[in-house]
Structures are given as C-alpha cells and as structure tokens.
Chains A and B, each alone.
Chain A
C-alpha cells in the first residue's frame, strides 16, 4: 500500500469515530431485538398448541421434509451455469439402465420389496442429493436420495453405506450391501408415494 492510500484510510477512520452511536441507543436496539424474538417464540408455541393438525403440519415441514435442493441446483445451472466450477460432463439423465432384478418386485407397504442375494452391492437408480439416513416405520434403516426431477427414492434394508450425508451422487454408484436377501424401494413425489410405472413415465 502506498502513502496516499494510508492517508486516505486514516482520514476515513477519523470521520467514522465522530459519527458513532451513543451507548443508550445501542442498548435500546438490543432490547427491541430480544423482545421481538420472545414474541416470535410465543406465537409459534401458541400456533402449535392450538390444534393437533397444526402440530402435524409443523412436524412435517420443519423436521421431516427437505428443501428441493436438486431442483434449485438444476434451475441455477440452466440460467447461470454451475455454481461451483467443475470440468466434469453432466450425466445424461434420460438413459435408464435397469438394475439387476428390479422386475422381481412385489408391493410392500407403500413401496416395493425386491429379491437379491445376500450382501450384494446395490446401485442408485438416479443421480441426486443424499438427504436422509435413519429409521422409517416398516422399512427399517432407510436412505433417501432426492432426485433432480423432484422424485425422492427411498432405499431400505441396506448397510455399509459408502456415502456421507448431503453428498451429490451420480447414477449407478454403489450405495451399500443388502443385509438379508431383499431390499426395499419406494418412490415419493411431493410428499406422496407413487408407483414404479408412474416413476418410469416421469423420466
């Protein structure tokens, strides 16, 4: 930095010192912020306690559903280009390769149960963002992958996960190995379960 810039910086600091806020204004601003946050907390508690539907809605939107990361990423990619500079070619989504024995599926709860040999590696059906890892009723340990077309795919009954949460995965990457000789699949679009035929039509 040269002498001229140093002098300009000193001048700017001296002028900033003259127009600083007095202390009581700072305290009253902080007090207002504390009061506003208390009001927000009380109003949300009142909303939850009002009826059980409110509680269900709160739980669904805040604790369970995910923001549609892949859709926002796709939209941004179409308009501005990718947010992170990368040299990789994007994977062609329209090529559908059926995994080993997905035709042997049988309906199970809201999804499908597919037979496979014990401890076989299972590949992902489509690329997307890995958003959830945990217990779901009836399926056991479930991994949810949020796809780019708004359809989440649930994979149940797998172990030895090779990914970390919130990783972007490509199509046909190995997710894990089956525990017993079957694994579960379920397709969810906008919070509702859809069938495999509808999923095929959406691609």
Chain B
C-alpha cells in the first residue's frame, strides 16, 4: 500500500454544528458522535484498500460521513456491497468491544448510528443492500429505477416519522434529499458502463 495519504475534509456545517453544540454545553456527546462516524469511515477505507482503489476524499457531515472512491464504472455491485459491509462490520466490532465497558452514552450512540445507517435511503449503507437485492432479479435499468423509487419512499417514511415524533432531524433529512437529487443529476452517465 504505497499511497496511504487520504484527504479528510470537514464540511462547513459540521464546524457550525460543533460550535453551537459546545456553546450549549454538549461536549462529550459531540466528540463521541464524531469518533463513531470516524470509526465507521475507517471501516469503509479498510475494505476499499483491499481492492486497491483510490479514495478521492472523505467528507464529515454533522451526523455521518461520505467516502468518495474512484473505482471503475463497470465494477460489479458486489464490490459496493462489500465496501458498505465494511463500515457496518467495524461498527459491530466497536459495539462488541463496548459491551465490556461501562460507557452507556457511547454504546447508545453507536447503536443509533448503526441502525440509522441500515435504513434503505440513498446515500446510506442500507440503500446498497436494496440495490444489490434488486439487481439479482431484474435488468440494470429496471433495478436502478426500482432502487430510486423505494429509496424515495423510505425517505418519505423517515421524514413523516420525524414529524410525528417531533425529532428535530431536519438537517439530516435535507442532506439525504440533496444526495438523492445529485443521483438524479448523475444517473445518465451510469449507462456508460455498457460501452467499456
């Protein structure tokens, strides 16, 4: 592994979120959340390096992170599935390690972020399972269409759940929606995979 330097970026909104949380007195919570997100991204990076792909950047948003990887456009969906499983596997290892410690808050945040990542909404890790499931049974075009429809449907469910229980998750919902729109912008280039 020659090229080990990875570009870690922290988004501007993360800095603002940290500042407001520190002013409100939530020191430990924010550090724990950032540590768990960092560990999750390390899981992704570890499994990406097994394939010897290049990581373009790792961006940290307030409650999660997005890893952008430079892999060939016609790689199979199983590789993406493997990489997503990496992040979840590292969180499970952390959860098992935390069972023997006495830290209630850290385990609670670990479980919450793990369950949140298993939701089938773009761009979370759960959506990759959804896509892989559809590709086993349908053609590429049909499976991608179903993937988008189901992901948007689950996003609406998540949004309504937040409103019903009045959890103030509007920033997370906004980020998920923006990522969904970016997928719409890029989707016509995905069919280049059939030319290579």
Contact = CB atoms under 8 A, between A and B. Distances in A.
A65 to B, nearest CB: 15
B167 A85 contact: yes
Interface string A1-22: 1111110010000000000000
A76 B168 contact: no
Contacts of A84: 21, 26, 29
A132 interface: no
B73 A3 contact: yes
Contact of B24 (A73, A81, A86): A73
Interface in B84-126: none
A2 B192 contact: yes
A70 B70 CA distance: 45
B27 A166 contact: yes
Contact of A1 (B21, B27, B56): B56
Contacts of B69: 1
Interface size class of B (residues with CB under 8 A): 20 to 34
Interface string B157-195: 000000001011110100000000000001001101000
A72 B168 contact: no
Nearest to B28: A166
A120 B169 CA distance: 41
Contacts of A81: 168, 170
B23 interface: yes
Nearest to B172: A85
Nearest to A70: B25
Nearest to B112: A85
Interface size class of A (residues with CB under 8 A): 20 to 34
B26 A83 contact: yes
Contact of B189 (A2, A80, A166): A2
Given A2-B186, A4-B189, A83 B167 contact: no
Contacts of B29: 84
Contact of B70 (A1, A67, A73, A80): A1
Interface in B36-79: 56, 68-71, 73
B156 interface: no
Residue from the set B25, B29, B56 with the largest chain A CB neighbour count within 10 Å:
B25
A70 to B, nearest CB: 7
B73 A72 contact: no
A141 interface: no
A82 interface: yes
Interface in A23-47: none
B167 A86 contact: yes
B189 A83 contact: no
Contacts of B21: 83-84
A167 interface: yes
A86 B26 CA distance: 13
Contact of A72 (B23, B27, B28, B71): B23
A70 B25 CA distance: 7
Interface of B: 17, 20-21, 23-29, 56, 68-71, 73, 165, 167-170, 172, 186, 189-190, 192
Given A83-B21, A83-B24, A168-B25, 19 more contacts: A1-B56, A1-B68, A1-B70, A2-B189, A2-B192, A3-B192, A67-B23, A70-B25, A72-B24, A76-B20, A80-B168, A81-B168, A82-B168, A83-B26, A84-B21, A85-B167, A87-B165, A87-B167, A166-B27
